[in-house]
Amino acid sequence: MKNLILKSIKYFFIIFILSSYGQEKFSNPIIRGGYPDPSICKVGDNFYLVNSSFEYFPGLPIHKSKDLINWELIGYGLHRKSQVDSTVNLIDVQSNGGIHAPTIRYKDGVYYIITTNVYYDEEQKKADMVNFIITAENPAGPWSDPIHILGAPGIDPDLFFDDDGKVWYVGNQMPENPNFNGEGEIWLQELDINEFKLVGEKYLLWRGACGGVWAEGPHMYKKDGRYYLLIAEGGTSFNHAVMVALSDNIEGPYISNPRNPIITSRHLSYDNWVNSTGHGDIIQLDDGRNYIVLLGIRNQIKRGSNMGRETFLAPITWEREPFEWKETKHLWPVVSPKTGRIELSNDIVFNNSIQNIEISFKDNFESDKLNLKWNFRRYPIENIFHLNKKDKRLNLICHPNQIKERGRAALLGFKQTESSFEYLTQMHFEPNTNGSEAGISFFQKDDNYINFTLIKDDGKHYLQAYVVKNGELISTKKEHLEQFKGQIKFKVIADKEAYKLYFSTKGTHFNLFANLDGSILKSNGYTGAHLGLYATSNGKKTKDSASFDYVNYLIKKK
């Protein structure tokens, strides 16, 4: 007891010292897991950040911070059915469709998120881009139903409040006569913020610094009386980059920074610790300093990671051109002025700030509301789960649906945040129907997932693990589980792409069931992997369900 008290005093003394003096460095990424296309705003002492969510629901995750390095998930912009079942369709949206590249802004007591829903119509063989705005007085919600901005083509809209009272919509589109597939241009039009309608003349601003190769993700700023247009270019992979141009007038013409791109990894080795950096948004602090949030992909598994695109932070300085022969010496932003790269370790933003990187996520299902970190692929099937507050369990119905493209299943998960981890859950399952199946699922897309489940077949219980890659079953293992008593623990220990699957039906003793290659979860699209729970009756009608006592996700530090 004495040793425990001494250890506690020592621990709290260390915390006190760290709190008093802060840290000198912070680590990237600042928001870990599949959080791409960050946009940021500052209101008072708080920063708010929103990310793309694509086909996942709830959509448009919103984080809050006071120091730019510690972020709390506080809510979602799309959080109820009325928001996603008509104008914005997240019911049967295709993989990699859904919510693209939002912008968050604040003006006169109102928060605005403007973004795009991309929905591919199978019958018409074309994609519809619905650009819309939602509003809220509290960034944690509730948010309004989507307001469709008619006559707005393209994706990745930006909302710019000028100091003369005008509000501008900045968008992206394919040129009328494109020179090649994927060419983009940035356009501008005034927006009536009360009626949410485009008004006046439409202006074509810029096709980027590299010929318009996927010129998208625009953000407009004003500094020293000039307008700065920041865009993403090069596609959201190894050639991704951030470009900037300026103009004396918001309508243009725009002058490209001769030193573009201002941040990228395209000039670095494919084996650099982070790649695909781009799609940024700039924030100014009260003391005049500037930072940029942007996406990147950590190089941990085959030049990528199972987390996909994450949110990073870098400092910005502003430097004026030094050329004596230039009559007008423009002022340009310089990202990471000391190195010109996104760094793993960076100088702290605010003194006395300590970065607390989450090393675990545990949910004991004690609340009557699902933890904010849980996501579904599309809006979930009604009444597919419920929280049993009395027994402190999550009950998941064995729905006939299986995991499939544009489908909805009894499947939910939270974002994988590191490549090495331990994942544990305890399940109660006593199925009556042959074909009823439940357990855990690691999923990245409808056609990329790993399931580790218990299934009833021919009156017997079987343990199985199977891997689906690009829609094809590439690996499966199935064994009869004798003397199953209705309770089982699943445990997975991952070390990068090496996934070891364990189970236990007898207390704390675990048996190794399978060694699998988890690299199939490496992002081959826009989203990272999720770790979750799954149940299905494989097409049969049943009243079977599975219940889970907890999930425990622990990061393995090396």
Does 97 lie in the same domain as 206?
Answer: yes
Q: What is the pLDDT of residue 501?
A: 98
* Residue carrying structure tokens 């009328």: 176
Structure confidence at residue 124 as a pLDDT band (50, 70, 90): confident
Give residue 557's pLDDT: 73
| Domain termination residue (choose one: 347, 377, 398) | 347
Tell me: do 187 and 164 sit in the same domain: yes
Burial class (CB in 10 A: 0-12, 13-18, 19+), 482: exposed
Instruction: Assess whether 226 and 88 both reside in one domain.
Output: yes
Calculate the average pLDDT of the chain.
Answer: 94
Asked if residue 368 and residue 329 are part of one domain, the reply reads no
Q: What is the pLDDT of residue 10?
A: 41
Return the active site residues: 37, 216
Q: 8-17, 25-34, 130-139, 197-206: which has the minimum mean pLDDT?
A: 8-17
The Cβ of residue 143 has, within 10 Å, a number of other Cβ atoms equal to 24
**409, 402 Cβ separation under 8 angstroms:** yes
Residue 10 domain-assigned? no
Please determine, for residue 4, whether its predicted confidence score (pLDDT) is greater than 70: no
The pLDDT value given to residue 337: 97
Overall domain count for the chain: 2
Size (the chain), residues? 558
pLDDT grade for 19, boundaries at 50, 70 and 90: very low
Note whether residue 17 is domain-resident.
no
Query: Range of 117's domain?
Result: 35-347
Q: What is the pLDDT of residue 525?
A: 65
Pick the last residue of a domain from 347, 372, 394: 347
Residue 269 inside a domain? The answer is yes
pLDDT interval class at 5 (50, 70, 90):
very low
End residue of a domain, out of 323, 347, 371: 347
Asked if the structure places residue 20 within a domain, the reply is no
Which tens digit of pLDDT belongs to each residue from 392-428? Answer: 999 999 999 999 999 999 999 999 999 999 999 999 9
pLDDT at 22: 61
* Domain CATH number, residue 180: 2.115.10.20
pTM equals 0.94
Tell me the CATH number at 378. Answer: 2.60.120.200
Place of tokens 């008290």: 5
3-state SS, residue 458: coil
| CB within 8 Å of 16: residues ≥ 6 apart | none
Q: Which residues of 171-200 are buried (b: 16+ CB within 10 A; e: fewer)?
A: bbbeeeeeeeeebbbbbbbbbebeebebee
146 and 289 part of one domain: yes
Q: Is residue 46 part of a domain?
A: yes
Per the domain annotation, does 277 fall within a domain? Answer: yes
Is 76 within 8 Å of 62 (Cβ atoms)?
A: yes
- What is the average pLDDT across 93-112? 97
**C-alpha to C-alpha distance for 270 and 274, rounded to whole angstroms:** 9
Over residues 214-260, the pLDDT tens digits come to 999 999 999 999 999 999 999 999 999 999 999 999 999 999 999 99
**Residues 207-211, mean pLDDT to the nearest whole number:** 91
Comparing CA positions, the residue from 14, 20, 27 lying closest to residue 349 is 27
Which pLDDT band, with edges at 50, 70 and 90, does 87 fall under?
confident
Q: Are residues 247 and 338 in the same domain?
A: yes
Residues 156, 222 share a domain: yes
Residues 339 and 384 in one domain: no
Do 369 and 311 belong together in one domain? no
Per-residue pLDDT tens for 161-186? Answer: 999 999 999 999 999 989 999 999 99
Where does the pLDDT of residue 1 fall: very low under 50, low under 70, confident under 90, or very high at 90 and above?
very low
- pLDDT, tens digit, for every residue of 421-452? 999 999 999 999 999 999 999 999 999 999 99
Tell me what pLDDT residue 397 has. Answer: 98
C-alpha distances (whole Å) from 36 to each of 3, 294, 481 are 46, 8, 41
Same-domain status, 405 and 272? no
The pLDDT value recorded for residue 123 is 85
| 185 within a domain of the structure (yes/no) | yes
389 lies in the same domain as 489: yes
Using the predicted structure, report yes or no on whether residue 545 has a pLDDT greater than 50.
yes
pLDDT level of residue 269 (50, 70, 90 thresholds): very high
288-335 pLDDT per residue, tens: 999 999 999 999 999 999 999 999 999 999 999 999 998 999 999 999
Instruction: Quick: pLDDT tens for 494-525.
Output: 999 999 999 999 877 999 999 999 999 997 66
| pLDDT at position 210 | 86
| Tokens linked to 43 | 């209101």
So what's the pLDDT on residue 558? 59
Residues 329 and 373 in one domain: no
Residue 27 resides in a domain: no
Q: Which pairing describes strands 147-148 and 509-517: parallel, antiparallel, or unpaired? A: unpaired
339: Cβ contacts below 8 Å, ≥ 6 apart: none
